Structure 1
Amino acid sequence: MKIYFRLLSFAKPIEKFAIPYVIATMLSIIFGTLNLALLSPLFETLLKTKKSEVEVKPAAEHLSTFDILGKFRAFVNNSIDSVGAEKTLAYVCVVIVISVLLSNLFKYFSQRIMEDLRVHTLLNFRRSVFNNVMNLHVGFFNNERKGDIISKVASDVQVVQFTVTNTLQVVFKEPVTLIVYIIMLLTISAKLTLFSLLVIPVSGFIISKIVKRLKQQAKEAHESFAKMIGFLDEALSGIKIIKAFNSSERIKEKFNQENIFYSNLNRKMVRRQQLGSPVSEFLGVLMVAVIVWYGGTLILHNEENALAPADFIAYIAIFSQVMRPAKALTDSFSGIHSGIAAGERVLELIDTKAELTNKADAKTLDNFNEALILNNVSFAYGDKQILKNINVTINKGKTVALVGPSGGGKSTLMDLMPRFHDPKEGSLVIDGHDYKDLTVESIRAQMGIVNQESFLFNDTIFNNIAFGKPDATEEEVVNAAKIANAHEFIVNTENGYQTNVGDRGNKLSGGQRQRVCIARAVLANPPIMLLDEATSALDTESEKLVQEALNNLMQNRTSIVIAHRLSTIQHADEIAVIDKGEIVEKGSHTALLAKKGLYYRLIEMQTFND
């Protein structure tokens, strides 16, 4: 229940919906029950066609204030005496029509309010999940399956939303309906009602046994669905590789196996859920049959205190409806297991804390004036040491190149600078301020990033360039594209700057994508550029254009470059050679060549790979 109430907290402010829902539902239940209770006066009117047959009933003034049915029966009897059975029948029919109209009108309002609550809850829940995902550190996504996250944000949230609101609806509406029905039954015949209520606890016990394993199966089903989403995401992302290696059948089989497992699990769950409804319905019909036999026997034998035939018909009609709220309660308890299982998965994601959070008194870095310094920086993923005792000073306006063999830790070192991670030991200092004393947002505002993997959003070229500055004018975007050597190819596309680049920019070539990414960085105009040079995978012509764009980008800026090409690094103010997580050499291009160490060997081999 603790999880349920926490999930319910996403419906706040719940009183905005709960109060009108309670009022509308109560009125709907009262009029709905009255519809059935009025069957007694209706049949009584039909049966009493002669005055001589009219039994003496208590006068309305002698009846209890709450005995509405008794008062109406007294009205019917008086009406039959005064205006006759035919007109009385018309009065009864009009009252029934009005009662049905009001019952359905209030039922509509209650359902409408509950739907508003459902939408409100889903909005809050999905927003909370997505916001927390966006706040998590970059390292979190290296360890999690993207499909699992997508499943939680899309599918699991939907399951939780329906379960929470449906259960909330059932927990109030159905018990109240049940109570009102029972009160009405007790009013008609207390003896018969006490006998008939035995079916409800028996039904509840049997249903609880049926749905006992639903929660575990629901959790397995959600996890299996997440795996399928993960397979789908990987298959779509790597479709070219799959086809290139003739692995389509193997991938299809892998997906199909998980699909079969998920389908079988769902089949078992649905069978258990569906079993609850016919069992409770059968028990209800069985009990109605017993009551018809028992009550009918009393009437046929003219037993003392036996019900009048008209009252007995109304009693059977009301009791036949008692099983509906009872069945809805058992169905909701079987469905809540799936919602709780999905809720646990989503709350696990919400409860994941961001490793990087701003201190309460964190300052804002307004600009970059002096230097970015790494002091004895060490970093590890778990027990695996990645960086060890890194010391680098990057003065304003200077270019520092990071070179070294693949796997040496260059990209990890680059990720520390925009504070995607915090070092395990040591510190990063910018303009005399420790990173931890500054807001993450203000640090990143001073930096522009061009990654080796040029990522574009499925949007127009214009919007991709303006991503870092959404209010940019068309002139600013065009100027940024010209600096990035991208303007010429952009104007030659189908719709110019309004051309959609497709999923991850796949409508553009590698060189074109990279130049759009550079234009994006140019437009943001940060004082520090972090460049994971991406020219190594390009053809010669594209490489030349991108390199020119990079050179334009680096002008009058502080630049930290992961270098792959000699042409990029030989003009750097300082080169740091990183091997096995440590800086083994540092200096200018000429000085490092003279040492004839690792840098010299790398230059000889021209294998600067990240």
Structure 2
Amino acid sequence: MKDFFKFMLRFAAPYKWNIVISVIFNLLTAFLTLFSFAFIMPILRMLFGLDTQEYQYMAFEWGNFVGCITNNFNYYVSKMIVDLGASPTLLFLCGSLTVMTLFKVLSAYTSEWFTIPMQNGVTRDIRNSMYFKIVSLPIGFFTNEKKGDIMARMSGDVAEVQSSVMSSIFSLVKYPILIISYLVAMIAISWELTLFVFIMLPMIGTLLGVVGRKLKQQNLQGQERFGSILSNIEETIGGLRIVKAFNAEKQMERNFSAETQDLYRIHNSMSRRYALAHPMSEFLGTLAVAIILWFGGTIILSGSESIDASSFIYFMVIFYSLINPAKELSKTSYTIQKGMAAMERIDKILGAVNPIQDPAAPRNLPEDRGKSSVSFRDVSFSYDGERDVLSHIDLEVKPGKTVAIVGQSGSGKSTLVDLIPRFWDVKRGEILVDGINVKNLRVKDLRSLMGNVNQEAILFNDTIFNNIAFGDKSATQEEVEAAARIANAHDFIMHTENGYQTVIGDRGCRLSGGQRQRISIARAILKNPSILILDEATSALDTESERLVQDALEKLMKDRTTIVIAHRLSTIVNADMICVLQDGKIVETGTHSELIGLGGIYSRLVDMQQV
């Protein structure tokens, strides 16, 4: 339960007044419940002649407040029986009991009414916190995590927290108050019997706690397996073309069946253990009642004056009423254990550390900076801290110039450009933008300088307008259309069903590859970046689409500092400088004609593409 209270301090603090109001109404509910029990006993004794005592009105004394209330209640009931008769008195008292019960249930409902916004609010806050954290985390975090597992944590684990932990909050507010109120009343009736109850309850709680701790461990295994299943589904759908092309359907079915079988086994064990909670608590409760009956009956039969028969009956009524809250509280303990297992998985995301941070004293970019420059000074980088992907990179990209990066796959081209916007941080050396180390700039300011066009156009299931204006809430229709015209996209956009308001589907699936890429270019044009990064922007296109995209890129690149990664060397022959990467090192630099004249690696790459 320690983890649960830490959780409550983190997420329930904004809803403290909901808890306070709920506690107040639960106290009122407990008082009305106890009063209704006390209300019934003397009625039955006097109506049926079990109580022959004559009562006199007693003046109120704070030292004997309860005794005065009880005596005067009995006085008025006995007077009513004499004046009106037993039957009308019974009718009046039953009506009073009904009204009291109405107030009790209204009080109980009001208590829950105030906890519901807290339950749903905390769930919303957790889901928002996870999403905000995921958006803020660096790209490196997701290279070690399965996409499906992250989705499982945001969906299944949050749902588990809502159904397990948050739904238990009302029980944790209500039942302890009822239990404490009942125990106080029981102590007032007979402290000896209550002491006996106190001795038994810890033993019962210990037995139930053992089962609950095991349940948390199993639920953690189940949530992890569920995340693995979601990852499997996501990979299968994403790679369905390959699965079918290689006749691997049966293999994928076997893998999936093995994972679902593990989840089936875990859920069986969890459900059986959870199902044990009710019969186990019911048996232990009945056992406790039997022991109390024996112990209390022995005291009465022995002739002791510490408790009489009617008080013992009232004691047993209260104790039996205590059993149900105690059982529900024990079930709540089981439920919370399940939810805290899901919370552990959520905390792996919420507790993740983002190494890409703004500096304590960030520098500001000059407002009239004009064209930007980019400099690499003895930069080395490693993903795992052991093998360098880039080694001793020295590179100067002058303002307004175009530098092309070429090399075989795995040479470090994409890693090199990812270091500029701080998707990763360099381990050794430094990168300067306009003469300022990128680590001394705010991340937001640094990335505001840059526009990216990647090999795979990353679009969203939204309208064409919103995809082009992505990240710019102030963009007007005229500005979006102007950017689309420069990107050679306006004509095909106007031929779509709803023009710029056409929804393009998941990842732009309703558009061709060339159309998606031109939308991506239009987005970069609208941003009007000082530094442009093109990562193999035309490598996946056919010849006609490549011509249209290349023309759009040339318009975009004009008078901008541009870094281009390209496999098709024909697209970078006019670059101001070409750098050849091999095994993470720059091995050749120069213009296209200079590198051809060297007869080195670049020349061989050109020859291979011309074959």
Alignment TM class, shorter chain as reference: over 0.9
Distance 1:483 1:202 in 2: 78
* 1:88 maps to 2:86: no
**Structure 2 vs 1, CA of residues 255 and 157 (structure 1 numbering), >3 Å: closer, same or farther?**
same
| Cα distance between partner residues in 2 of 1:387 and 1:280 | 63
Instruction: Specify the alignment match of 2:53 in structure 1.
Output: 55
Which digits, 9 at most, give the CA deviation of each residue in 1:117-175, with x for residues without a partner? 11222232222222222211111111111122222222223333454445544444322
Q: For residue 123 of structure 2, what is the aligned residue in structure 1?
A: 122
Partner of 2:248: 247
Residues 393-432 of structure 1: pairs in structure 2 closer than 5 A? 393-432=396-435
1:98 aligns with 2:99: yes
- Equivalent position amino acid for 1:347 in 2: D
Question: For residues 147 and 364 of structure 1, do their structure 2 counterparts lie closer, same or farther at Cα, with a shift above 3 Å needed?
Answer: farther
Conserved in 1, the CA contact under 8 Å of 2:579 and 2:589? yes
Greater alpha carbon shift after TM alignment, 8-17 vs 374-383? 8-17
| Superimposed CA distance per residue, residues 493-534 of structure 1 (whole angstroms, 9 cap, x where no aligned partner) | 222222211111112111111111111111111121100123
Aligned with residue 576 of structure 2, among 573, 576, 579: 573
Residue matched to 2:557 = 554
Pairs aligned (count): 604
Alignment of 1:323 with 2:326, yes or no, is no
SS of alignment partner, residue 339 of structure 2: helix
The letter of the residue matching 1:113 is: F
DSSP 3-state at the match of 1:393:
strand
**Contact 1:363 1:439 (8 Å CA) reproduced:** yes
- Show the 5 A alignment for 1:327-338: 327-338=327-338
Question: Where in structure 2 are the equivalents of 1:513-592 lying within 5 Å?
Answer: 513-592=516-595
Q: Does 1:497 align with 2:497?
A: no
Q: CA deviation at 1:574?
A: 0.6
Quote the Cα distance in structure 2 between the aligned partners of 1:244 and 1:502. Answer: 25
Contact in 2 for aligned 1:38/1:69 (Cα 8 Å) = no
Query: In 2 relative to 1, CA 501–79 (structure 1 residues): closer, same or farther, beyond 3 Å?
Result: same
Q: Does the 8 Å CA contact 2:580/2:586 hold for their aligned counterparts?
A: yes
What residue identity is the alignment partner of 2:351?
A: D
**Whole-angstrom CA distance in 2 between matches of 1:424 and 1:368:** 29
Q: Indicate conservation of the 8 Å contact 1:60/1:75, yes or no.
A: no
In the TM superposition, what is the alpha-carbon distance from 1:194 to its structure 2 partner?
A: 4.8
- Residues in 2 aligned to 1:463 and 1:70: alpha-carbon distance in whole angstroms: 77
Aligned partners of 2:7, 2:211: CA distance in 1, in Å?
25
Q: Give the deviation of 1:252 after TM superposition.
A: 2.8
What residue in structure 2 maps to residue 288 of structure 1?
A: 289
Say whether 1:215 aligns with 2:216. yes
Supply the distance in 1 between the matched residues of 2:516 and 2:424 (Cα, whole angstroms): 27
Q: Is the 8 A contact 2:26 2:177 kept in 1?
A: no
- Residues 269/601 of structure 1: CA separation in 2 closer, same or farther (3 Å cut): same
Q: Which moved more, 1:531-540 or 1:314-323?
A: 314-323
1:500 counterpart SS class? coil
Secondary structure of 2:95's counterpart equals: helix
Q: Contact 2:400–2:562 (CA<8 Å) still a contact in 1? A: yes
Specify the code of the residue in structure 2 equivalent to 1:519. A
User: Does the CA-based 8 Å contact 1:362-1:437 persist in structure 2?
Assistant: yes
Shift of 1:248: 2.7
- 2:379 counterpart residue number: 377
Q: Distance in 1 between matches of 2:561 and 2:428?
A: 25
Deviation at residue 278 of structure 1 after TM alignment: 1.2
Mapping 1:205-354, distance limit 5 Å: 205-289=206-290, 305=305, 314-354=314-354
**Corresponding residue of 2:487:** 484
1:601 & 1:196 partners in 2: Cα distance? 89
> Helix, strand or coil: the match of 1:65?
helix
The residue identity in structure 2 corresponding to 1:322 is: L
Q: Are the structure 2 counterparts of residues 58 and 222 from structure 1 closer, same or farther at C-alpha, using a change threshold of 3 Å? A: farther
The aligned amino acid for 1:387 is L
Contact (CA 8 Å) 1:37, 1:318: kept in 2 or not?
no
Equivalent residue runs for 1:34-73 within 5 Å: 34-48=35-49, 54-57=52-55, 59-61=57-59, 64-67=64-67, 68-69=69-70, 71-73=72-74
Q: Which amino acid aligns with 2:547?
A: K
Paired residue for 1:146? 147
Q: Distance in 2 between matches of 1:213 and 1:583?
A: 57
The question of whether the paired residues in 2 share the 8 Å contact of 1:564 and 1:607 is answered with no
Letter in 1 for 2:378: N
User: Do the aligned residues in 1 keep the contact of 2:372 with 2:398 (CA within 8 Å)?
Assistant: yes
Q: Who is 1:468 aligned against?
A: 471
Relative to structure 1, the CA distance from residue 397 to residue 306 in structure 2 (aligned partners, 3 Å threshold; closer, same or farther) is: closer
Question: Structure 1 residues 337, 368: closer, same or farther in 2, change over 3 A?
Answer: farther
Where do 5+ consecutive residues of structure 1 fail to align? none
- Is the Cα–Cα contact under 8 Å of residues 454 and 513 in structure 1 kept in the other structure? yes
Question: Structure 1 stretch 561-570 or stretch 444-453: which is displaced more?
Answer: 561-570
- Measured in 1, the distance between the counterparts of 2:305 and 2:86 equals 26
- 1:26 offset after TM fit, Å? 0.7
- Does the 8 A contact of 1:48 with 1:85 survive in 2? no
Percent of paired sites with the same residue: 41
1:377 aligns to what SS in structure 2? strand
- Long gaps (5+) in structure 2: none
The alignment status of 1:512 with 2:512, answered yes or no, reads no
- Say if 2:4 is the partner of 1:4: yes
Q: Is the 8 A contact 2:165 2:339 kept in 1?
A: yes
Partner SS state of residue 389, structure 1? strand
1:41–1:92 contact (8 Å) kept in structure 2: no
- Give the AA of the match of 1:459: D
Distance 1:255 1:42, change over 3 A: farther
What are the Cα deviations for residues 195-218 of structure 1, in whole angstroms up to 9, with x where unaligned? 556552342232223334222212
Q: CA RMSD in A?
A: 2.6
Opposite residue 318 of structure 1, the aligned amino acid is I
Per the TM alignment, residue 15 of structure 1 is displaced from its structure 2 partner at its CA by 2.6
Counterpart for residue 13 of structure 1: 14
Matches of 2:75 and 2:196, distance apart in 1: 28
Query: 1:108 offset after TM fit, Å?
Result: 1.0
TM-score (norm 2): 0.92
Aligned-residue offset at 1:21: 1.5
Contact 1:460–1:498 under 8 Å retained in 2: yes
Cα distance change of structure 1 residues 182 and 104 upon mapping to structure 2, 3 Å threshold: same
Give 1:370 deviation, angstroms. Answer: 4.6
